[in-house]
Amino acid sequence: MFSPSPATSERSADSTRVRRRRRIGAATGALALLVAASPFLPGDSGPRPAMTPRSNESSQPTQAGAPGLGAITPELQAEIDRVVAEGPRSTVSPRSSAYALAAAASRCAVFEGQRYCLGLGWTTQSQDEVASRLATAAGPAPGRTKPEQTGDLGALAALRRYSRLSPRERAAAERAELTAAARSVAKVWLIRHEIQGVPLPERFLEEHPEAALAARTSARKHPRAFKILREKQVRPQNRTYYCGPATAQMIAWGWRDRRQGQALWADRLHTTSAGTSITDMVRVVNHNTGYDGDEHAGPYIVLDISDFTFAEWFRLMKKHLHTYQAPVVLHPILAKKYFPYLDDDASGHFQVGRGYDKNPGGQPMLSYFEPWDQSRFDPTEPRIARTQWQSAYKSYRANRAHFQHNLGL
């Protein structure tokens, strides 16, 4: 979320992947020359549906993948340096007001026409709007019962964590986050183009043949229903604040076909009893799986969907799951009105998006792995199944209800 964590070096040395990354970076690096001239900024639950014959669990992508990592141009580096340099000018401490902390923690950069705000991700909102949203979420809520915490890092906890970092730690974390964001801007442009219809900058497709292929193939129809990941490779979170580690465990298990304990993922995510941030979720997926490869989803990003309609949000789910055959880090509010299997309202949360059904004649459905099982911590509560098929519209509303309104994909 809004307090970036120091990057870790968990990725193993893989010479083949490194060579592939370099080829992708060379192909995408010229994006800055193209985009600068064209700025963009200004249901109910139901039974699990039957699957169509095309809805298999193949490990082979059906279409071209997303653009890979781009190079850091002098222009991108200058913008990174500018935002990082603003940090020391913001004098904050744990005693600072919520807005002062929020304004310092959520500073924004504009990379080739797309805005990225620290901790929130790619967004079309202004820096002031983002700071106000965070400050409001971190403020007191008189008369509101505190929801059960499942492991998403809340706004207030994120601001406290941010304020406790030393200036050097803060600058290093922000530089790492902004650098990763700048290298993924081509993917953001394609999402805006393919999902929301935003025109691509002039000469974009000519200069980016891999993006041209992705844009052309994205027009192909998705099957009625589709799913990825094996239902046997799931586990509930084993601590009340481990929705992040459990989600990372299931995503990595699906890629590696090897289960590793949630404590390991908690360590890589920098999870504490206060929870896990979505920026750390995306970082760990990128560093520990191949779903971020150019033949799948490309570098995972944190994307603010506050300006997405349901149709656009569901189109994004279908593209990521079917075209890229890569899971989505869902980021909802775990509330009873959105998830019928709950007995109590809970906090912000992470789930593994892994399938969809258009369900003609009915409401569209979304499949996901649910790490939360309240019965593990309170035997009087009903058990919650790991694999869920629920209303896609309600998942969208739960995503919009979270103050960050974002996804990892």
Would you state the pLDDT for residue 151? 93
Q: Which residue has the higher pLDDT, 369 or 19?
A: 369
Q: Which two tokens stand for residue 315?
A: 């189109």
What is the C-alpha separation between 382 and 374, in angstroms, rounded?
7
Alpha carbons 245 and 272: distance in angstroms, whole number: 10
Please report which confidence band the pLDDT of residue 28 belongs to, taking 50, 70 and 90 as the band edges.
Answer: very low
pLDDT, one tens digit per residue, over 161-199 is 888 888 899 999 999 999 999 999 989 999 999 999 998
Of 70-79, 85-94, 95-104, 284-293, the poorest mean pLDDT is in 85-94
The predicted pLDDT at position 7 comes to: 40
Position 103 scores a pLDDT of 86
Residue 269 Cα distances to 8, 153, 221, 242, 288, angstroms: 9, 11, 36, 10, 11
Domains of the chain and any CATH numbers: 17-42+68-143+153-217 (no CATH), 222-408 (3.90.70.10)
Which range, 33-47, 50-64, 267-281, has the best average confidence (pLDDT)?
A: 267-281
Amino acid identity of residue 172, one-letter, is: A
Residue with tokens 């393919």, as numbered in its chain? 194
| Pairwise CA distance, residues 158 & 137, whole Å | 11
Q: How many residues belong to the chain?
A: 409
Would the pLDDT of 290 be above 70?
yes
Q: What pLDDT score was predicted for residue 31?
A: 34
Confidence label for 24 from pLDDT (cuts 50, 70 and 90): very low
Among candidate residues 245, 252, 236, 237, the one with its CA nearest the CA of residue 285: 252
pLDDT at 207: 56
The predicted-structure confidence for 251-263, as pLDDT tens digits, reads as follows 999 999 999 999 9
Q: Report pLDDT for 217.
A: 58
Please report the pLDDT score of residue 140 as a whole number. 76
Spatial CA neighbour of 103 closest among 131, 68, 135, 144: 131
Residues 6+ apart with CB under 8 A from 319: 194, 195, 218, 222
Parallel/antiparallel/unpaired status of strands 328-330 and 114-117: unpaired
Whether residue 219 has pLDDT greater than 60? no
